[in-house]
Structure 1
Amino acid sequence: MSGAAPRSTTASGAVPASRRGSRMFPDGTGPSPDPAGSHFERRIRSFQPRRSRVTTGQADALRRLWPLWGLDIDGRRVLDLDEMFGGLPVVLEIGFGMGEATARMAAADPSTGILAVDVHTPGQGNLLGLAERDGLTNVRVANGDAIILLREMLPPAALAGVRVYFPDPWPKKRHHKRRLIQPEFLSLVATRMKPGAVLHCATDWEPYAEQMLEVLTAHPGFVNTVPDGGYAPRPDFRPLTRFEGQGLEKGHVVHDLLFARA
């Protein structure tokens, strides 16, 4: 939706999320529908943009707070994380949904910065609103492809940790190549993590958990923090989310994997 056009709403007060190639916000005042454009190769992506409604509250948070706490992943600059987070150690969170767990982790540990990446416009607005409501100054929201962020916009050894919670499992065999946790991703992310920094993954999809464990165990850049190998107990700092609770009620088993950068 063009910034000059009237803003349409639904009967519930929601506004349509931006569609690919169209813009809900004028330049610099909100997330772009395609921040990297055609500047980088078209490749198989591990994420799929979700078309859903943005509430008026989420849209308001995006308009007011995006210029302060948001950034588009355009691949055209290297971020200064020390400047962005006031010298705090920074953890990258890839895929945060509606942001409730992210906000809770940020509130529980204000000495750590969280750079939270997603492509879901309602979730971006919701997380910004939660950060404002709770007075969180250690959260920044990034819009776009985490691979481009890692490869083009973060310097080596910049991250104190990486979190990938409940990524899309792409359950069909023909789609397994879209899964994020692959050897190539691990090689890239390892270059951006400080020695000893922890990559923390969680999933309730058993076959994906098995793949994660296999590729992480085999990768020379990571060491399992569980002495005997295998999965880790859910650490206290990772909140139990509504999504996770619903899965547990259905009998799903959630696996956490915590691997340190060698």
Structure 2
Amino acid sequence: MFDSGLGGLSVWRAVTRELPEWPVTYLADQAYVPYGSKSREQLIERSLRIGHFLHEQGASLLVVACNTATSAAVDTMRKELPIPIVAIEPAVKPAARASRTGRIAVLATEFMLQSARFHSLLQRHAGTVEVLPRPGRGWVELVEAGRIDGDEAREKVAAVVEPLLAENVDHIVLGCTHYPFLAPLIRDIVGPDVVLDDPAEGSARRAADLLAGKAPQKPNGYRFYTTADTAPMSDVLPVLIGHPYPVQHAGI
């Protein structure tokens, strides 16, 4: 699995619950975070490098735990990498189908919201539902630093979410894997009647389907890599997933 940083750990949680017997390697490309500010060409180059690295580490399946990388690079990755790839995309389809008010919000990076893949997703699945796209500016940086509570996080989340209260949305799609770590703050603002749609469980089920009937070649175990300094990731892992793990540097 890989992400621009630590947001993909929200998908890691779902995958490890779905596949508890499988060893999972997670790589955070923190030397290049955030991906939302990068060009499509940069994202393709980074995603291919990381994909080849993880394949060389023995990966039999690759989960792209990043909406932005999926949008920019997954088609190229599927052509060039010799292993199955599970992508992730905003859960527009289930949100649109379940909406009662006919208005949903999609929170994602600016790159994702402007991408052709996202607009294709809307054309295919939004139907007659009105979609309000909103970038979570500064949210990725909050999660990377483990600042998922406190005044700063609440202010940045409120700046994006509070205006939606007047828009009659009944579903908020979390279109960046970093954003589920801020879901408790979002929930405090919107209350219990607005559904938060997170696609992580769907990606985990897809990974399990692709591995059905296969047995892991190595004992259960989790490995973590970062392309940046290892200390910050080591410090934040317990905050985000509730357990410390050793972190290795990947010079990619």
Same fold (TM over 0.5): no
Q: Say which structure is richer in strand.
A: 1
What TM-score range do you get, normalising by the shorter chain?
A: 0.3 to 0.5
Q: Say which structure is richer in helix.
A: 2
Q: Higher RCO, 1 or 2 (CA under 8 Å, sep at least 6)? A: 2
TM-score (norm 2): 0.32
